[in-house]
Amino acid sequence: GESIIGRAQKNGIINVECIDIRDFTEDKHRKTDDTPFGGGMGMVMTCQPIFDCYKSVRESIPEQSKTRVIYMSPKGRIFNHDIAKELSEYDNLIFLCGHYEGVDQRLIDEYIDEEISIGDFVLTGGEMPAAIMTDAIVRLLPGAMGDETSALSDSFQDGLLEPGVYTRPADYKGWKVPEILLSGHQAKIEEWLYEESVRHTMERRPDLLEE
Ligand code: SAH
């Protein structure tokens, strides 16, 4: 409910619903997990509550709308700006967030369009990855950001990192803002910003330039 996602909801650009899988369990102890077949450590999220939860979510959205069902998983394609852009084109995104050792593979085989990871590390649940993806996707939607041009100049938007940014005062404790930015010469400023952008990318992420 905060920041850009909060505002995007107030402005009717998006609607976020968090659904507790446990509310769908038919188990009298509200259990949603069980021990893995074949042995091994940890617990696995069972089919029934997730299947019923998924069915109820699907029934709440129009059948013809463009929907992608994503399982948050360290085994998935690693999330990046291009995936955020791709997913911003959908009407609905359903994020299945796992816990414990993850969810029963049969659910993934039957209902998941894609597994996505937010990086090569393992978290305890999929909720934070889903929140991170939601933030990255929502800020790309038209009207979600106050100033739409700001999303356009962000890092990765054009395959380059953003140049350093500066604001007033022009001189703080003797640390000066690059003079060119104060020159008022817009064409030269643009050229300098582009060069800075390339320099930052070359120094920090040369792999982006190769792509
Ligand atoms: N045993 C699993 C990890 C389970 S972690 C394995 O080794 O692959 C529990 C849940 O946290 C996962 O089901 C997933 O939904 C979420 N999760 C953990 N790390 C993640 C990551 N890097 N990206 C996205 N989701 C992650």
pLDDT band at residue 148 under the 50/70/90 scheme? low
74 CA distance to ligand 1 middle (Å)? 5
pTM of the model: 0.94
Q: Share the mean pLDDT of the chain.
A: 96
Q: What is the pLDDT of residues 46-77, one digit of tens each?
A: 999 999 999 999 999 999 999 999 999 999 99
CA distances from 149 to 5, 46, 166, 175 (A): 17, 45, 17, 28
Q: What are phi and psi of 73, to 5 degrees?
A: -160, 135
Q: How confident is the model at residue 211 (pLDDT cuts 50, 70, 90)?
A: confident
Most informative mutation of 80, 123, 124, 133 for ligand 1 (most atoms within 8 A of CB)? 123
Instruction: Indicate whether residue 98 lines ligand 1 (CB < 6 A).
Output: yes
Share of the chain above pLDDT 70, in %: 99
The CB of 188 under 6 Å from ligand 1? The reply is no
Largest CA-CA distance found in the chain, in angstroms, rounded: 71
pLDDT of 79 over the 90 cut = yes
Residue 121 in contact with ligand 1 by CB distance below 6 A: yes
User: From the CB of 102, is ligand 1 less than 6 Å away?
Assistant: yes
Which residue, judged by its Cα, is nearest atom 12 of ligand 1?
A: 98
| 104-142 per-position pLDDT tens digit | 999 999 999 999 999 999 999 999 999 999 999 999 999
